[in-house]
Chain A
Amino acid sequence: SDEKTPNFKSIGSLSPAIDRKIEPFGAAFLAHARRQRHGRTFSEDDRI
Protein backbone atom coordinates (compact mmCIF):
# COMPACT_ATOMS: atom_id res chain seq x y z
CA SER A 1 0.00 0.00 0.00
CA ASP A 2 2.75 2.40 0.93
CA GLU A 3 4.62 3.30 -2.24
CA LYS A 4 7.86 4.31 -0.58
CA THR A 5 8.13 1.09 1.34
CA PRO A 6 6.64 -1.66 -0.76
CA ASN A 7 7.87 -4.34 1.62
CA PHE A 8 6.23 -2.77 4.66
CA LYS A 9 2.54 -2.49 5.36
CA SER A 10 1.27 -0.56 8.34
CA ILE A 11 -2.00 -2.05 9.57
CA GLY A 12 -2.73 -0.63 12.99
CA SER A 13 -1.39 1.24 15.93
CA LEU A 14 -0.75 0.18 19.50
CA SER A 15 -3.51 -0.24 22.04
CA PRO A 16 -3.86 2.80 24.31
CA ALA A 17 -1.09 3.01 26.86
CA ILE A 18 -1.45 2.92 30.62
CA ASP A 19 0.19 5.73 32.56
CA ARG A 20 2.41 4.37 35.31
CA LYS A 21 5.27 5.64 37.39
CA ILE A 22 8.81 4.45 36.77
CA GLU A 23 10.66 4.17 40.06
CA PRO A 24 13.47 6.75 40.02
CA PHE A 25 16.28 4.42 41.06
CA GLY A 26 19.17 2.60 39.46
CA ALA A 27 21.53 3.38 36.61
CA ALA A 28 18.99 2.62 33.86
CA PHE A 29 16.53 5.14 35.28
CA LEU A 30 19.19 7.81 35.60
CA ALA A 31 20.02 7.32 31.92
CA HIS A 32 16.31 7.60 31.10
CA ALA A 33 15.96 10.80 33.14
CA ARG A 34 19.00 12.27 31.40
CA ARG A 35 17.51 11.52 27.98
CA GLN A 36 14.14 12.98 28.95
CA ARG A 37 15.55 16.14 30.42
CA HIS A 38 17.75 16.83 27.43
CA GLY A 39 15.21 15.64 24.90
CA ARG A 40 17.57 13.06 23.50
CA THR A 41 16.73 9.78 21.81
CA PHE A 42 18.36 6.42 22.48
CA SER A 43 20.62 6.74 19.41
CA GLU A 44 21.68 10.27 20.27
CA ASP A 45 22.41 9.10 23.78
CA ASP A 46 24.42 6.15 22.47
CA ARG A 47 26.65 8.46 20.44
CA ILE A 48 27.57 10.61 23.45
Chain B
Amino acid sequence: DGGDRARARQHVFLLPEYFKDASKKMKSGLMFVKLVNPCSGEGTIYLFNMCLQQLFEIKVFKEKHHSWFINQSVQSGGLLHFATPIDPLFLLLHYLRKADKEGKFQPLDQVVVDDMFPNCILLLKLPELEKLLQHVTEEKEIDKKKYYKYSKEKTIKWLEKKVNQIVAALKTNNVNVSARVQATAFFSGDQASSDKEEDYICYAHGLVSDYLPRELSDDLCKYLKLPEPS
Protein backbone atom coordinates (compact mmCIF):
# COMPACT_ATOMS: atom_id res chain seq x y z
CA ASP B 1 0.00 0.00 0.00
CA GLY B 2 1.52 3.25 -1.13
CA GLY B 3 1.01 6.81 -0.07
CA ASP B 4 -2.17 7.04 -2.10
CA ARG B 5 -3.86 4.49 0.08
CA ALA B 6 -2.92 6.53 3.11
CA ARG B 7 -4.79 9.57 1.86
CA ALA B 8 -7.90 7.85 0.52
CA ARG B 9 -10.77 8.11 2.96
CA GLN B 10 -12.48 4.82 3.66
CA HIS B 11 -16.26 4.74 4.03
CA VAL B 12 -17.88 1.87 5.90
CA PHE B 13 -21.25 1.02 4.36
CA LEU B 14 -24.06 -1.46 4.81
CA LEU B 15 -25.77 -2.12 1.48
CA PRO B 16 -28.63 -4.45 0.50
CA GLU B 17 -27.32 -7.91 -0.34
CA TYR B 18 -29.16 -7.98 -3.66
CA PHE B 19 -27.00 -5.17 -5.07
CA LYS B 20 -24.37 -7.83 -5.64
CA ASP B 21 -26.59 -9.90 -7.96
CA ALA B 22 -27.99 -6.88 -9.73
CA SER B 23 -24.43 -5.73 -10.35
CA LYS B 24 -23.88 -8.72 -12.68
CA LYS B 25 -26.29 -7.20 -15.15
CA MET B 26 -25.18 -3.63 -15.05
CA LYS B 27 -22.11 -1.72 -16.01
CA SER B 28 -23.18 1.43 -14.24
CA GLY B 29 -26.24 2.85 -12.61
CA LEU B 30 -25.43 2.91 -8.94
CA MET B 31 -24.82 6.49 -7.97
CA PHE B 32 -24.81 8.85 -5.06
CA VAL B 33 -26.65 12.06 -5.86
CA LYS B 34 -27.68 15.08 -3.89
CA LEU B 35 -31.45 15.54 -3.72
CA VAL B 36 -33.76 17.64 -1.64
CA ASN B 37 -34.43 16.46 1.89
CA PRO B 38 -38.25 16.51 2.14
CA CYS B 39 -38.16 17.43 5.83
CA SER B 40 -35.54 20.18 5.91
CA GLY B 41 -35.57 21.26 2.26
CA GLU B 42 -31.79 21.07 2.28
CA GLY B 43 -29.51 18.93 0.12
CA THR B 44 -28.93 15.36 1.22
CA ILE B 45 -27.01 12.51 -0.39
CA TYR B 46 -29.15 9.62 -1.64
CA LEU B 47 -28.18 6.47 -3.47
CA PHE B 48 -29.93 5.80 -6.74
CA ASN B 49 -29.97 2.31 -8.23
CA MET B 50 -30.88 2.72 -11.90
CA CYS B 51 -30.82 -1.02 -12.48
CA LEU B 52 -33.37 -1.80 -9.76
CA GLN B 53 -34.94 1.64 -10.21
CA GLN B 54 -34.95 2.22 -6.51
CA LEU B 55 -34.03 5.15 -4.31
CA PHE B 56 -32.11 4.67 -1.07
CA GLU B 57 -31.47 7.07 1.75
CA ILE B 58 -28.15 7.17 3.56
CA LYS B 59 -28.23 7.24 7.34
CA VAL B 60 -25.00 7.64 9.22
CA PHE B 61 -24.21 6.22 12.61
CA LYS B 62 -21.96 8.80 14.20
CA GLU B 63 -21.04 8.87 17.84
CA LYS B 64 -18.21 10.62 19.66
CA HIS B 65 -15.04 8.70 20.36
CA HIS B 66 -15.07 5.96 17.75
CA SER B 67 -12.63 4.80 15.09
CA TRP B 68 -12.32 1.84 12.77
CA PHE B 69 -9.51 -0.61 12.31
CA ILE B 70 -9.98 -1.83 8.74
CA ASN B 71 -7.49 -4.56 7.93
CA GLN B 72 -4.09 -2.89 8.30
CA SER B 73 -5.33 0.66 8.57
CA VAL B 74 -7.05 3.04 10.93
CA GLN B 75 -9.98 5.22 9.88
CA SER B 76 -10.95 8.00 12.26
CA GLY B 77 -14.54 8.95 13.02
CA GLY B 78 -15.99 5.45 13.32
CA LEU B 79 -18.83 6.29 10.92
CA LEU B 80 -21.19 3.55 9.74
CA HIS B 81 -23.38 4.35 6.72
CA PHE B 82 -26.68 2.57 6.07
CA ALA B 83 -28.34 2.53 2.65
CA THR B 84 -32.03 1.69 3.11
CA PRO B 85 -34.91 2.07 0.63
CA ILE B 86 -36.87 5.30 0.87
CA ASP B 87 -40.40 5.80 -0.42
CA PRO B 88 -39.83 8.28 -3.30
CA LEU B 89 -43.28 9.70 -2.66
CA PHE B 90 -41.83 11.71 0.24
CA LEU B 91 -39.51 13.51 -2.17
CA LEU B 92 -42.20 13.89 -4.83
CA LEU B 93 -44.49 15.42 -2.21
CA HIS B 94 -41.97 18.22 -1.73
CA TYR B 95 -42.39 19.19 -5.39
CA LEU B 96 -46.14 18.56 -5.56
CA ARG B 97 -46.76 20.84 -2.59
CA LYS B 98 -44.54 23.52 -4.07
CA ALA B 99 -46.32 23.33 -7.43
CA ASP B 100 -49.68 23.43 -5.67
CA LYS B 101 -49.09 27.11 -4.89
CA GLU B 102 -50.02 27.69 -8.54
CA GLY B 103 -53.23 25.80 -7.85
CA LYS B 104 -53.63 23.94 -11.13
CA PHE B 105 -53.18 20.53 -12.69
CA GLN B 106 -49.69 20.10 -14.19
CA PRO B 107 -47.73 17.39 -15.96
CA LEU B 108 -45.16 15.77 -13.69
CA ASP B 109 -42.13 16.97 -15.66
CA GLN B 110 -43.23 20.54 -14.91
CA VAL B 111 -43.70 19.75 -11.25
CA VAL B 112 -40.40 18.02 -10.55
CA VAL B 113 -38.00 20.80 -11.50
CA ASP B 114 -35.22 22.09 -9.30
CA ASP B 115 -32.37 24.48 -10.05
CA MET B 116 -30.69 23.62 -6.78
CA PHE B 117 -30.84 19.86 -7.21
CA PRO B 118 -31.01 19.09 -10.94
CA ASN B 119 -30.64 15.38 -10.28
CA CYS B 120 -34.32 15.42 -9.26
CA ILE B 121 -35.11 14.38 -12.84
CA LEU B 122 -34.00 10.90 -11.77
CA LEU B 123 -37.19 10.70 -9.73
CA LEU B 124 -39.19 10.74 -12.95
CA LYS B 125 -37.47 7.52 -14.02
CA LEU B 126 -38.83 5.51 -11.12
CA PRO B 127 -41.24 2.72 -12.03
CA GLU B 128 -44.96 2.81 -11.25
CA LEU B 129 -44.92 6.52 -10.56
CA GLU B 130 -48.52 6.89 -11.66
CA LYS B 131 -49.62 4.31 -9.14
CA LEU B 132 -47.63 6.01 -6.38
CA LEU B 133 -49.02 9.45 -7.18
CA GLN B 134 -52.58 8.23 -6.76
CA HIS B 135 -52.00 8.25 -3.01
CA VAL B 136 -51.36 11.98 -2.82
CA THR B 137 -52.79 13.69 -5.93
CA GLU B 138 -55.88 14.26 -7.99
CA GLU B 139 -55.20 13.53 -11.62
CA LYS B 140 -56.63 14.37 -15.02
CA GLU B 141 -55.90 12.84 -18.37
CA ILE B 142 -55.98 15.03 -21.46
CA ASP B 143 -54.80 13.71 -24.84
CA LYS B 144 -53.20 10.73 -23.11
CA LYS B 145 -51.06 13.01 -20.99
CA LYS B 146 -51.49 12.95 -17.23
CA TYR B 147 -51.84 16.09 -15.15
CA TYR B 148 -51.51 16.11 -11.38
CA LYS B 149 -52.57 18.27 -8.48
CA TYR B 150 -51.59 17.84 -4.85
CA SER B 151 -54.40 16.67 -2.58
CA LYS B 152 -53.95 17.32 1.10
CA GLU B 153 -56.89 15.08 2.03
CA LYS B 154 -55.47 12.09 0.16
CA THR B 155 -52.00 12.74 1.51
CA ILE B 156 -53.18 12.76 5.11
CA LYS B 157 -55.04 9.47 4.57
CA TRP B 158 -51.95 7.99 2.95
CA LEU B 159 -49.87 9.12 5.93
CA GLU B 160 -52.36 7.61 8.34
CA LYS B 161 -51.84 4.25 6.61
CA LYS B 162 -48.09 4.74 6.91
CA VAL B 163 -48.46 5.38 10.64
CA ASN B 164 -50.53 2.20 11.08
CA GLN B 165 -47.92 0.24 9.17
CA ILE B 166 -45.13 1.61 11.36
CA VAL B 167 -47.10 0.91 14.57
CA ALA B 168 -47.39 -2.74 13.51
CA ALA B 169 -43.62 -2.92 12.89
CA LEU B 170 -42.84 -1.26 16.23
CA LYS B 171 -44.92 -3.92 17.96
CA THR B 172 -43.29 -6.85 16.15
CA ASN B 173 -39.82 -5.43 16.75
CA ASN B 174 -40.62 -4.79 20.42
CA VAL B 175 -39.47 -1.20 20.21
CA ASN B 176 -39.81 0.59 23.51
CA VAL B 177 -41.93 3.59 22.55
CA SER B 178 -42.31 5.39 25.82
CA ALA B 179 -39.71 6.87 28.12
CA ARG B 180 -42.24 6.48 30.89
CA VAL B 181 -42.36 2.77 30.29
CA GLN B 182 -38.69 2.35 31.11
CA ALA B 183 -39.27 3.51 34.65
CA THR B 184 -42.33 1.33 35.24
CA ALA B 185 -40.69 -1.67 33.58
CA PHE B 186 -37.76 -1.21 35.92
CA PHE B 187 -39.98 -1.75 38.91
CA SER B 188 -42.69 -4.07 37.67
CA GLY B 189 -40.88 -5.93 34.90
CA ASP B 190 -44.14 -5.68 33.01
CA GLN B 191 -43.21 -3.65 29.98
CA ALA B 192 -45.34 -4.94 27.13
CA SER B 193 -48.71 -4.31 28.74
CA SER B 194 -47.86 -0.76 29.79
CA ASP B 195 -47.14 0.49 26.26
CA LYS B 196 -50.25 2.39 25.29
CA GLU B 197 -51.59 2.53 21.78
CA GLU B 198 -51.22 6.29 21.77
CA ASP B 199 -47.52 5.99 22.60
CA TYR B 200 -47.05 3.81 19.54
CA ILE B 201 -48.92 6.26 17.32
CA CYS B 202 -46.92 9.20 18.69
CA TYR B 203 -43.67 7.37 18.07
CA ALA B 204 -44.71 6.39 14.55
CA HIS B 205 -45.81 9.95 13.84
CA GLY B 206 -42.35 11.08 14.94
CA LEU B 207 -40.66 8.61 12.60
CA VAL B 208 -42.69 9.58 9.55
CA SER B 209 -42.27 13.30 10.39
CA ASP B 210 -38.57 12.94 9.58
CA TYR B 211 -39.71 12.85 5.94
CA LEU B 212 -42.30 15.62 6.08
CA PRO B 213 -42.21 19.39 6.19
CA ARG B 214 -43.26 20.78 9.57
CA GLU B 215 -46.65 21.96 8.34
CA LEU B 216 -47.68 18.54 7.06
CA SER B 217 -46.39 16.87 10.20
CA ASP B 218 -48.54 19.22 12.30
CA ASP B 219 -51.59 18.55 10.13
CA LEU B 220 -51.09 14.82 10.55
CA CYS B 221 -50.73 15.29 14.30
CA LYS B 222 -54.13 17.03 14.43
CA TYR B 223 -55.74 14.44 12.18
CA LEU B 224 -54.51 11.62 14.40
CA LYS B 225 -55.77 13.58 17.44
CA LEU B 226 -52.40 13.30 19.13
CA PRO B 227 -51.48 15.64 21.97
CA GLU B 228 -49.61 18.75 20.84
CA PRO B 229 -45.88 18.09 20.96
CA SER B 230 -44.45 19.97 23.92
Do chains A and B interact in one complex? no
